[in-house]
Structure 1
Amino acid sequence: MRDAEERLAEIPGLVRYENVSRDDLMRQVAEAAKETYSREEVYGRYCTLETYIDCPPEDVFDYLADVYSHEEFTYSVREVEEVDGKPGLYTGWDTVGDNTRIFVRVDAKRDALTVDYHSAWDQGEDLWMVYLFRIVPAEVVLKRPGSVLLWTNCYHPYYAENPYPELAPEGRSFWVGDLWPQFAPGHQVELDNLKAILEHRHRNGIPIVSGRAEAVAR
C-alpha cells in the first residue's frame, strides 16, 4: 500500500485526502462552482442528454437496437435500408441536409444495455459520427420502474470540417458540424420523441419495436 501511495505522490496535480485537507477541498470546490455556465462549457466538447422513460430497460434496448427505429424517433432519418453486400451497414436519407445520405452501423450489447450508432454523412467507410446510448434500470438509481436513458455525442474533429468534401451532394450549403451548437436542443426534440413513443406503446400494450425489420425481410 505504501508503494502505491508513493507512486501516486509522484503524479503532479492529484487531489486526494492524503495531500489536501477536507477544508481546502471544500474551499476549492466552492470557488470552482458557478451559478451559471456558458453553452461552450456545458456542450463544447461533449453533448450529453438524459431522461426518465416509463418503459422497461430491456424494451428500451430492443427499440434502440433496431436500426429502423431511426425512422420513428429522429426528426430527419428516413427510408433506411441495408447496403447491398455489406451486412450490418445501413443507409437512409437525412432530410435535415439537402439530398444527403446517412450511413449507420449499430453496435448493441444487451448484457451492458448499451447501444451505439456509428454513422456518417455521404459515405459508409469511415463512420466517425458516434451516438452513445446507455440504458440504466431506473429501479437501481431512482427506485422506480422504468429506465434512465443517457445519450452522449463527442465533438469529433470532423465536425469542424468535412473530411470528404468531394462526396457532398451538389447544392448542399452546410455541413453537419455547422449544427453542433444546436445538437443539444435538436437531440432533445428526438429524445422527447423517443420517450413519447416508448411510453405510449408500453402503457397501451403495443409492441415496442415497429416490426419494420420483419417487413423488410419479407
Structure 2
Amino acid sequence: LFEAILADIYGPNRLIEKGILPAGLIAASPEYLRPIASVRPASGHFLHMVAFELGRGPDGRWWVLGDRTQAPSGAGFALENRVATTRALSDIYGEMHVHRLAGFFRRFRDALNGMAKDSSGRVAILTPGPLNETYYEHAYIARYLGIMLLEGEDLTVSSGKLMVRTVSGLMPIGVLWRRLDAAFADPLELKPDSQIGTPGLVEAIRRGTVSAVNA
C-alpha cells in the first residue's frame, strides 16, 4: 500500500485527481520532495525496507504503534541483540529453537546486490555520521553484510554517476542504502543547508545510474 501511494504521489497523481488525497495536503507537506516528482527509481520501487513499531497491550494483543519508511532502523539492533543473547544465554537459546535472522540479512544483501546495474557498481550505506543516534547500527550492519559505510563527503557525482572517493581514484556506486532523511541527501536540489548529503545525488537517481534504498 505504501509503495503504491508513493508511486502515485510522485507519478500520475490519480489519488489527487479522484479526490482521495487533497492536493493541498501533499503540496504543503514538508516531507514532499518536489525535485523527485516524476522520477522513476532505477530499481522500479520506492520502498525496499519498512519498519513497524509494535507494542503489546494490557489484554495481550499486539498493536502497530507506528511505521517508518524514512531511513527505518531496528534491524541492526535486533541482530546485535540476538548475537549478545546467544553468547550470554547459549544453553537456553539452544533449547528455545529461536528462528535465525541470518536468512533475512542474506536475502536482503542479495536483493541489494541484484539492484546494481552492472558488476562494477558497489553497494554502500549512506550514514549521517558518528554523531547520529543510530550510527552504531549502520556500522554493525555494514560490517555484517560486507558493504561500505560512507558519509556524504565520501561521495561525488561525476557525469551523472555516483562515485566514491578512494585512494585508487573514483569508483562507481550502484546501490546506495540511505540511512539519513531524504531531504538531507542532496544540498543542491533538496535541503540547501545540509552538510551530510552529496550534491548531485538526486540527478544521479533521476538518470537511473544508482538505485537508492529507500528511494
Q: Same fold (TM over 0.5)?
A: no
Give the alignment's TM-score, normalised by structure 2. 0.23
Normalized per residue, which structure has more strand? 1
User: Rg larger in 1 or in 2?
Assistant: 1
